[in-house]
Amino acid sequence: MTAPAAGRLVLPEGTDHLRPRPLGPEARVAVVAADYHATIVGRLLDGAVATLEAAGLGRDRITVATAPGAFELPLVARALAETGGYAAVVTLGCVIRGGTPHFDYVCAEAARGVGAASRETGVPIAFGVLTCDTLEQAEERAGGAHGNKGEEAATAAIHAAGTLAAIGG
């Protein structure tokens, strides 16, 4: 069974929709990319940057930082979020299942850490970490038939930042 495709939510008629605001002219977004599985993560990074540019951010408003691997992404993302200089942070990484439980620990802590960093700083931190069984699956999710998770994560970060801006007035 495959998951339903991403799409647009249809709101009940008559409800008020709090629409995300576009990022302002001074908004900055940080991207934290894991060095591990660099070829795959590089494709995710290309997708994220292209998406941020398409949303109106110049490359001078996009900061890219690196982390050794997916496990360290939350620490670097939190540090960037805590500076107060970014409307959103995008995390990008790739973990491929091996023959030990290491995969489970790394994936769980990366996801938990990114979520906690976002909640605790109030800055949207998007989770663009591939968690795949095989290299082939990772390649498909980094620009193949299954799209590009880097693009999706950047889109989510922009949307969340825009919604928070709309809430904040």
Domain contains 113:
yes
Domain contains 1:
no
Structure tokens given for 159: 């949307």
Question: Which one, of 91, 94, 110, 73, lies nearest residue 152 by Cα?
Answer: 91
Structure tokens given for 82: 């805590």
Q: What is the per-residue pLDDT for 73?
A: 98
Domain contains 117:
yes
Q: Are strands 147-148 and 142-144 parallel, antiparallel or unpaired?
A: antiparallel
Q: What is the per-residue pLDDT for 91?
A: 98
How many other CB atoms are found less than 10 A from the CB of residue 26? 7
Domain contains 126:
yes
Active site residues: 102
Q: What is the per-residue pLDDT for 6?
A: 66
Domain contains 146:
yes
The low-confidence residues of the chain, meaning pLDDT below 50, are 1-3
Q: What is the per-residue pLDDT for 165?
A: 94
Assign residue 159 the CATH number of its domain: 3.40.50.960
Q: What is the per-residue pLDDT for 1?
A: 37
Domain contains 143:
yes
Model pTM?
0.92
How many other CB atoms are found less than 10 A from the CB of residue 169? 4
Q: What is the per-residue pLDDT for 2?
A: 45
Boundaries of domain holding 157: 29-168
Domain contains 104:
yes
Number of domains in the chain: 1
What is the DSSP secondary-structure string of the chain?
-PPPPP--PPPPTTPPP-PPPPPPTT--EEEEEESTTHHHHHHHHHHHHHHHHHTT--GGGEEEEEESSGGGHHHHHHHHHHTT--SEEEEEEEEE--SSTHHHHHHHHHHHHHHHHHHHH-S-EEEEEEEESSHHHHHHHEEETTEEHHHHHHHHHHHHHHHHHHHH-
Domain contains 11:
no
